[in-house]
Amino acid sequence: MKQIGFQSVFDTPATKEANLNGQYQTPDGRIWEYLKATEAITQYMVVSSPANTDVDTISSSTNGSSQIVYLTEASAGWTVGDYQDHWLLVDDGTGEGQLGKIKDNTADTLELYVDYAFGTAMAVADSDIVIRHEPDAEKIAITTLVTPPKGVAQVTFAASDYGYFLKRGIGGVLAGEVITINVSATPGDDTEGTVEIGDTAKGLFDEAYVGRCLVANTTADKAFLCEVNIL
């Protein structure tokens, strides 16, 4: 696993400086994932991936080596580069079941990495795709215990900033209630990005696990010291 310095985890540049979804380790053994913030995220908030994007009526074209790597939706109006390193699945119509990884995008065309070139061309009449926002981060949803967390911000992010989110190791987590020592924390508080006390005798399919309280907060909506352990 690639090592990064302590200063790197506090940097939030507006341009990508590491591999999206890459996992990195600081010298103290903590594990971080590199993501793009799709909205402003406050320090110590828990993040998840945004909802999938459905795209209908997709056509395709080839590169100079006759590989099907270009997928187009006319007048899509996408922001250039927004889908870099996102995954997609053809979920309906011609070519259904194919998956690919996006290298880059223009306002209306997705370019796949050639390793994921399609074997079947798309048909604008019926081919649909779904894009997964795995490299992106937003504040985790409220009252949703099973939303999979991606990491915890240890610094404040502006919308469209890139940076490292804590996945494993000691850090701060924002709680919507008073968290007592040694209890577990799960998403589901009534404020986006915050956690609440986990229930006992629950598994991964009942509620997501963010970590275990090491030092309690004394006031709701304040951070506590957490042993973060996000799969």
Mean pLDDT over the full length of the chain: 95
Q: Determine the pLDDT at residue 188.
A: 86
Answer for the pair 70, 59: CB distance below 8 angstroms, yes or no: no
What DSSP designation does 22 have? Answer: -
pLDDT band at 218 (very low <50, low <70, confident <90, very high): very high
In percent, how much of the chain has pLDDT > 70? 98
Q: Determine the pLDDT at residue 83.
A: 97
* Integer Cα distance of 216 and 29 in angstroms: 23
Protein fold of 53-132:
Elongation Factor Tu (Ef-tu); domain 3 (2.40.30)
Residue 33 belongs to what H/E stretch?
strand 31-37
Q: Determine the pLDDT at residue 201.
A: 65
Q: Where in the chain is the domain with CATH 2.40.30?
A: 53-132
Question: What predicted TM-score, i.e. pTM, was given to this entire model?
Answer: 0.93
29: pLDDT strictly greater than 70: yes
Amino acid at 184: S
204: pLDDT strictly greater than 70: no
Cβ-count burial of 52 within 10 angstroms (0-12 exposed, 13-18 middle, 19+ buried)? middle
Tokens 């187009």 locate to 72
225 backbone dihedrals φ, ψ, rounded to 5°: -85, 125
